[in-house]
Amino acid sequence: MTWFNISSGETTVEDAVVSTQGDDIYLIIASRTTDKKGIKATWYKLTTGDKDFPDGPAYLFKPIAHHSYPNTKLSVESILKKETAIK
């Protein structure tokens, strides 16, 4: 899956995977760091409701973890495969 975010003239493209583990659903987004030498991976968990959003949405992905791979020669896709094997 490729994640697109377009706003105010800026376009962000990041690679992502959806992983299920038991009854839990996770979204893992990985991208190159701004210096292009490393990769960052962020985990989000699908949750229902949130006290910070009393009027919705009914479901949202909340960030739960960040992993950094500084100065790696691995591809973003390789990091996503590695990340899905972690949990």
Cα–Cα distance list, 77 to 22, 26, 27, 31, 84 (Å): 23, 17, 14, 9, 11
* Contact by Cβ (8 Å): 39, 76: yes
pLDDT tens profile 26-51: 999 999 888 889 999 999 999 887 77
pLDDT tens profile 66-84: 999 999 999 999 999 999 8
